[in-house]
């Protein structure tokens, strides 16, 4: 009886569309009130999350009640990332057209594993592959795989490198594994992102066996400290240091690597997009000489979560590293998406990437990047004028800020986060705490920057008052 009744209930809900109208109303309410919310949920909203604590229901529930609970107590407990004053981590906003495309795509509920499962998504992946390689100035026959984020994209790029380097040593890692495999070298900056070391660990390459290259005061790999490279080397570079936004010297380092026959992977989670903007292209000069690149859509391009992209100059190397087989798998002479990433079943991420790129065009993408960089520069100038210390050369969208003492910096950050006007994250730079501002929302205005500056000043004043002896 339950089986029959729940099927009947779902057919009714799909037919009358009331649930979807309710969801639309809630979504529009969230959009309309986002600017008035504190950026981080207040104590009441956090406390109300207890409303979700209950045993698993035995019987079907009314769909409208499920949505009401989610909106009434879930929406207030979200972080207002789609507003203009969220600067914590490198979490992008969402372009309206891309969000609308995501809604439609979710209704399609396509699995892009094979062309025969979804011709439309296969086509959009092919188009996005062409557009992205062109935008970034990469070899036009490079392959693109659409994954959850740069963490997985990096792992895919390093897997392709591992497969290729071991193949040169007459070792097939797909069939023989890593047991007794001949060693190859991994060279990486001491300032590499944690996800790089995570990927190396997952691939059995180990964090402790890598060769670390010193970085300069901005977090760039010191090119003159690079060890001698050879064709037995995987070299990992960075486009956009997660703290300073600094870029490695790709032109010089990649040329040296290419002459030696080394494989170069570029971790470009948010920074690779600098290549799409004429004013910032100098930061990525030489990236086209690399072999693979990882990048996010959900950061700088402002597509919805989750959306990462692996790009690889050597299409067959990526396909071989991501190898999959099965008698039931029906490959085609068209694009089969599962060849370019670790997943078979996954979201149709290319739909919103295509929608964002189609909507923005080249000039729109450049304007988006310029906006982030200009707002970051405004932050730096205003904060210096207010007596804060800016610790980095602001070349892209990252600003590192500190007060006079580590204690003052840490307590000022805590006061900023409690204030609710804006939200920034903390980090450690040169063994001292710092406030990290990541500007990557299309919605951020000069008014948002000004309001956030005042929040910084207010937070520091409160800190200084609390630190003064009685």
Mean pLDDT of 299-324: 96
pLDDT tens digits, 166-214: 999 999 999 999 999 999 999 999 999 999 999 999 999 988 889 999 9
Domain boundary among 332, 357, 382: 357
Positive or negative torsion for Cα 250, 253, 257, 263: negative
Contacts of 13 (CB under 8 A, 6+ apart): 19, 63
* Cα separation, 376 vs 448, whole angstroms: 12
- pLDDT value of residue 326: 82
Tell whether 76 and 170 lie within a shared domain.
no
**Domain span at 26:** 2-80
Same-domain status, 56 and 170 = no
Average pLDDT over residues 125-132: 98
Which residue's entry shows tokens 């309001």?
Answer: 451
**For residue 403, is it within any domain?**
no
Burial of residue 13, with CB atoms counted within 10 A of its CB: 0-12 exposed, 13-18 middle, 19 or more buried: middle
Q: Are residues 17 and 152 in the same domain?
A: no
Contact 397, 440 (CB under 8 A): yes
- Alpha-carbon torsion, ordered 367, 369, 374, 379, to 10 deg: 140
The pLDDT-based confidence of 327 (bands split at 50, 70, 90) is: confident
Do residues 109 and 210 share a domain? yes
Query: Mind listing the pLDDT tens digit for each residue in 38-78?
Result: 999 999 999 999 999 999 999 999 999 999 999 999 999 99
* Residue 155, pLDDT above cutoff 90: yes
**Which pLDDT value is given to residue 211?**
97
Task: State the chain's mean pLDDT as an integer.
Answer: 96
Residues 121 and 181 in one domain: yes
> In the chain, how many domains are there?
2
pLDDT of residue 1: 41
Q: Distances in Å between the alpha carbon of 143 and those of 60, 79, 353? A: 45, 35, 15
Q: What is the pLDDT of residues 97-111, one digit of tens each?
A: 999 999 999 999 999
Indicate if the pLDDT at residue 246 is higher than 70. yes
Rounded distance between C-alpha atoms, residue 178 and residue 114, angstroms: 29
Q: Give the C-alpha separation, 241 to 429, whole Å.
A: 12
Instruction: Report d(CA 50, CA 43) in Å as an integer.
Output: 12
Residue 467 is assigned to a structural domain of this protein: no
The pLDDT score that the predictor gives to residue 470 is 57
342 vs 322: CA distance, rounded Å = 6
Q: Are residues 297 and 179 in the same domain?
A: yes
Look at residue 3 in the predicted model and tell me its pLDDT.
Answer: 53
């Amino acid at each position: 009886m339950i089986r029959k009744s729940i099927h009947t209930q779902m057919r009714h809900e799909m037919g009358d569309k009331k649930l979807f109208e309710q969801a639309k109303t809630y979504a529009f309410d969230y959009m309309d009130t986002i600017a008035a919310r504190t950026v981080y949920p207040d104590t009441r909203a956090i406390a109300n999350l207890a409303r979700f604590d209950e045993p698993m229901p035995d019987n079907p529930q009314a769909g409208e009640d499920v949505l009401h609970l989610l909106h009434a107590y879930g929406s207030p407990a979200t972080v207002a990332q789609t507003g203009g004053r969220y600067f914590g981590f490198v979490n992008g906003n969402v372009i309206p057209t891309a969000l609308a495309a995501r809604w439609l795509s979710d209704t399609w509920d396509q699995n892009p594993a094979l062309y025969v499962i979804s011709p439309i998504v296969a086509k959009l992946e092919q188009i996005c592959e062409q557009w992205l390689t062109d935008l970034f100035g990469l070899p036009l026959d490079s392959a693109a795989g659409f994954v959850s984020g740069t963490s997985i994209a990096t792992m895919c790029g390093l897997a392709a490198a591992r497969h290729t380097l071991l193949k040169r040593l007459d070792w097939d890692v797909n069939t023989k594994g890593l047991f007794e495999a001949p060693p190859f070298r991994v060279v990486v900056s001491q300032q590499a992102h944690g996800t790089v070391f995570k990927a190396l660990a997952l691939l059995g390459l180990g964090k402790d066996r890598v060769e670390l290259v010193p970085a300069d005061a901005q977090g760039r790999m010191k090119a003159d400290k690079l060890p001698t490279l050879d064709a037995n080397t995987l070299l990992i570079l960075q486009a956009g240091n997660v703290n300073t936004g600094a870029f490695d010297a790709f032109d010089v380092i990649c040329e040296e690597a290419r002459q030696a026959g080394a494989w170069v992977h570029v971790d470009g989670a948010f920074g690779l997009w600098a290549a799409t903007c004429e004013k910032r292209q100098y930061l990525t000069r030489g990236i086209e000489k690399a072999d693979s690149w990882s990048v996010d859509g959900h950061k700088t391009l402002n597509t919805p979560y989750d959306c990462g992209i692996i790009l690889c100059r050597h299409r067959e190397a990526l396909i071989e590293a991501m190898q999959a087989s099965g008698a039931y798998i029906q490959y085609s002479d068209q694009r089969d998406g599962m060849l370019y990433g670790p997943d078979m079943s996954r979201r149709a991420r290319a739909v919103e990437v295509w929608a964002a790129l189609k909507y923005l065009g080249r000039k729109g993408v450049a304007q988006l990047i310029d906006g982030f960089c200009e707002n970051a520069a405004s932050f730096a100038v205003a904060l210096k004028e207010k007596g804060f210390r800016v610790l980095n050369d602001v070349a892209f969208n990252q600003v590192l800020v500190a007060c006079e003492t580590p204690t003052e910096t840490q307590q000022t950050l805590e006061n900023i986060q409690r204030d609710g006007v804006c939200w920034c994250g903390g980090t450690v730079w040169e063994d001292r705490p710092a406030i990290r501002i990541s500007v990557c929302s299309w919605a951020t205005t000069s008014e948002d920057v000004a309001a956030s500056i005042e929040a910084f000043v207010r937070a520091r004043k409160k800190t200084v008052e609390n630190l003064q002896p009685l």
